Structures are given as structure tokens and as C-alpha cells.
Amino acid sequence: MDRKKLQFVATGLVMMLFGITMVVVGTINNFIMVEFGVDKLFIGLCASVLAFGILLGSFVFGPVTDRLGYKPVMLAGVVLILIGLVGIIYTKIVPLIPYLFFLIGLGGGMINGVTNVIVAALFPENSSAYLSLLGVFYGVGALGFPLTTSVLLDSGLTYQSILSIVSLFLLIPLALVSLVKFPKCPHTKPIPMKLYFGFFTKPAILLVGLFLFFQSAVEAIVPVWTPTYLKETFLVSYDKGLFAITVSALGITLTRLALSQILKKTSPYRVVFMSMITIIGGALLLEFGNSFYFGLVGIAMMGIGLAASFPVMLSFTAGFFPSNAGTAFSMVIGIALVGNISLNTFTGYILDTFGIGKLNILLILFILVMIFLLKIIDHKLLKNHDHVSKKMAG
């Protein structure tokens, strides 16, 4: 295996840990409630603290990466996740649990950002394709952790044993990253705070960040609310409604695998535009389909449509900011996570007030806004790429 492929595999294994990070609360919440005698409110606190950790990690990784390089940030992120998981296994102090989830979130936010930056740097000519392939590793972690936990629980293992196995697995990417030599960041001087905050005024940061603001929200809304939609619309059990999470996640993961080839041959802008149309088609099928299975097909379509935006937009960002990719990624991913949290909360309020039937209307409205932003990104940034790149580098 050549060096670049080895670097990619190591980076992919680290990204897999971010997939685990995103589902860790939902996967082990029963263990926490039984082991520590806490209620659902405490679980909600842990989820909020995890999200805040991811958000903070996303905003801070960029300047640190631009200053210290890729490897220290990746190692620090993996170690923080490892400390958090091991702490949850062995601690007997209940008030410590949210802080451990914060460490997991902080480490997850850092590795999510830095792994994307590394892949964009390794494959500048086809970064959107390889960023899609990196997303497959994320999907493996997000799908594999709860599935493996369920299988091992059925076989008689305890949660502590399962988390111990996962913690041991973390040693593999930790060792691999320690041994593999990664390329140096193009920017090696500390970024002044004035320049750092000045990035928020850059058109590319604002437009791409705002697009991902809505993208990240829709990615969160689909798995959170579609199970309830299926349950209440088609009168199925909530257990059957949970198939919505599986089909949407599979749609994203398998499509990103296909996109790793498609984006080498097809315009990324065209791929994202067609992805938006696919999401609208899925929402319409979910709205007007007359059976539970049509609903699942619609949700799968939405998963397929959600796959392209993040890798393509991060690829655009790397092209606009070649000398400060870490900081730029930090900004747009951070803005995306703010959208995830705020629009998910807004959606919860709307659905609680007006009913779950408004879900597809909200999703279509969000996608229409994204199509509008995509058009602006195409006309204002992509068609003047050389001019914009020189201006932003200066």
C-alpha cells in the first residue's frame, strides 16, 4: 500500500470514530439509566452536552490544525473520545457523566474536521469524490456501533464489556495515526484573532456555511422525526417506524460510496442540484404515498439526496482557501452544527404546535432555500473561482 492510501485508511478509521460519537448517547442510554439510576432528563442533558462539545471542537480544530498540523489534532481527538468512553465504563460518580460526554463530543468535533481537511489536502484534484468515500467510514461507525451493540447484548455480553471492546478498537486508529507520516499543513504561522474572526465576513464562508446550516439540519431532522411520522401516519408501531433511521442512513452511506466514483466524472454542482431534487421527491413520496413501504422508499430517497452536499461543499471550501483550509473548514462545519441544533429545535416546536403532518412541508421549504443558495454559490463563487481564490488568499 502506497503512502497516500495508507494515510487515507488511517484517516478513515479515525472518521469512523466520529460516526460512533454521533450515536453514542442513543446507543448506551439504557445502560446509563439502569447503571446510574438517572431519568430521561439526564439523558437529554448528556445529549446536549455532547452536541456542545462537537460544536466547540468544530470551531477550535481549524486554527489549531493550521498551526500544529494534522497529526496532533487527530491524536488529541481520539484520546479525548477514549478517555470519555473509559470514564463512562468505570466511573461511579453520576455528575461526572455529562463531562465525559463533553470530552467525547469535543474529540469527535475535532476529528470530524481534521479528517475532512486531510482528505481534501491529499486529493486536491478529486477532493469531493474522496470526501464522499470518507463519509462511508462515518456511516460504518454510525451504523455499526448500535448494530454491534445490539448483537453483542443478545449474545449475553454486558454494556461494560461492549464499551471495553470499543475502547480497545480505538487503540487501532490511535496507533496507526501515531506511526503514519502525514503531509504538512500549507499554513504554519499562528492566525491572529482579528484575521480569524474576519473569516466570517468572507462570502465563501458565509454562503457555503449557510448552505450547510440547512443541510446539517435536514440530516438531523430526517432520522429524528420520520419514525414518529411513520408511526402516526401509517399507524404502525414505533419499532417499525425506527426502520426510517436505518434506510436513511443506508441511503447516505451507500450513495457516498457510489459518489466516490460519480464525482470523478460528473460536475459536483450538478450532482448537488440533482440531490436536492431527489430529497424533494422523497418528501413528496412520503407525503402522498399511501402505505408504510412507500414511506420508507421516500425516506431512503431523502437519504440518497443528503449524501452529496457535505463532501462537495467542503471540497469547494478547500479550493477557496488552500492556505487556511483548517480554519475555513472549522468555520463552515461550525455554522452547519449551529443549523443542526437551532433548526432541529425550531422543527420540534412547529411539529408540536401544528402536528407531525407539517414535517414534509418544512423539509421542502428548507431544500428550496438550499437550492437558492446553491444557485448563488454557482454564480458568485464557482464561475469566478480563480478571481475569488486570489482575492480570498490576499
CATH number (domain holding residue 122): 1.20.1250.20
Asked if residue 228 and residue 287 are part of one domain, the reply reads: yes
Domain encompassing residue 247:
192-394
Question: Which of 148, 175, 202 is the last residue before a domain boundary?
Answer: 175
Residue 5: CB atoms within 10 A of its CB come to: 10
The per-residue pLDDT for 220 is: 86
Hey, what's the cell of 121?
Answer: 489536502
Q: Are residues 312 and 376 in the same domain?
A: yes
Single out the residue in 175, 205, 240 at which a domain terminates.
175
The pLDDT of residue 385: 57
Assess if residue 265 is contained within a domain: yes
On whether both 152 and 224 belong to a single domain, the answer is no
Q: How many CB atoms lie within 10 A of CB 147?
A: 12
Q: Is residue 268 part of a domain?
A: yes
Q: Which three cell numbers stand for residue 259?
A: 459518489
Going by C-alpha positions, the residue among 171, 191, 179, 180 that lies closest to residue 68 is 191
Burial 281-301 (b: 16+ CB within 10 A, else e): ebbebbbebeebeebbebbbb
Extract long-range pairs of 366-369: CB within 8 Å, 24+ residues apart.
366/214, 366/217, 366/218, 367/214, 367/218, 367/276, 367/279, 367/280, 367/283, 368/280, 369/214
Q: Is residue 184 part of a domain?
A: no
pLDDT, position 62: 85
Please list, in sequence order, all residues whose beta carbon lies within 8 angstroms of the beta carbon of residue 143, skipping any fewer than 6 positions away. 19, 246, 249, 250, 253
Cα distance between residue 368 and residue 200, in whole Å: 24
Rounded Cα–Cα distance for residues 110 and 321 (Å): 19
Residue 250 half-sphere exposure, CB side, CA atoms within 13 Å? Answer: 10
Q: Are residues 111 and 45 in the same domain?
A: yes
Closest listed residue to residue 360, CA positions, set 252, 276, 272, 285 = 285
Is residue 352, in this structure, part of any structural domain at all? yes
Q: Is 182 within a domain?
A: no
**Terminal CA-CA length for the chain:** 38
**Is the domain of 37 the same as that of 67?**
yes
Whether residue 364 contacts residue 280, with contact meaning beta carbons closer than 8 Å, is answered with yes
Query: Based on the domain organization, do 233 and 296 belong to the same domain?
Result: yes
- Determine the Cα–Cα distance for residues 205 and 68; give it in Å rounded to an integer: 22
| 212 contacts: CB under 8 Å, gap ≥ 6 | 309, 310, 313, 332, 333, 335, 336, 339
Is the residue at 309 inside a domain? yes
Q: How many CB atoms lie within 10 A of CB 92?
A: 7
For residue 286, tell me if it sits in a domain.
Answer: yes
**186 located within any domain:** no
**128 lies in the same domain as 231:** no
336 & 380 share domain: yes
pTM of the model: 0.85
Q: Which domain-ending residue is among 146, 175, 204? A: 175
Same domain, 129 and 245: no
- Total domains in the chain come to 2
The one-digit pLDDT tens for each residue of the chain (394 residues) are 688 889 999 999 999 999 899 888 777 888 888 888 988 788 888 888 998 999 999 988 888 887 888 999 999 999 999 999 999 988 989 999 999 999 999 999 999 999 999 999 999 888 999 999 999 999 898 888 888 888 888 888 888 898 899 899 889 999 999 999 988 776 556 566 667 777 788 899 999 999 999 999 998 889 888 888 998 899 888 678 878 888 988 999 999 999 999 998 999 999 999 999 999 999 999 999 989 999 999 999 999 999 999 999 999 998 888 878 888 898 999 999 999 888 988 998 899 899 999 999 999 999 999 999 999 999 888 866 544 444 433 3
**Residue 18: predicted pLDDT:** 92
Q: Which of 17, 11, 9 is nearest to 167 (CA)?
A: 17
Looking at the fold, whether 323 and 216 belong to one and the same domain comes out as: yes
Indicate whether 57 and 132 sit together in one domain.
Answer: yes
Task: Report yes or no: 7 and 71 within 8 Å, Cβ to Cβ.
Answer: no
Q: Give dist(CA 309, CA 307) in Å, integer.
A: 6
Q: Are residues 144 and 206 in the same domain?
A: no
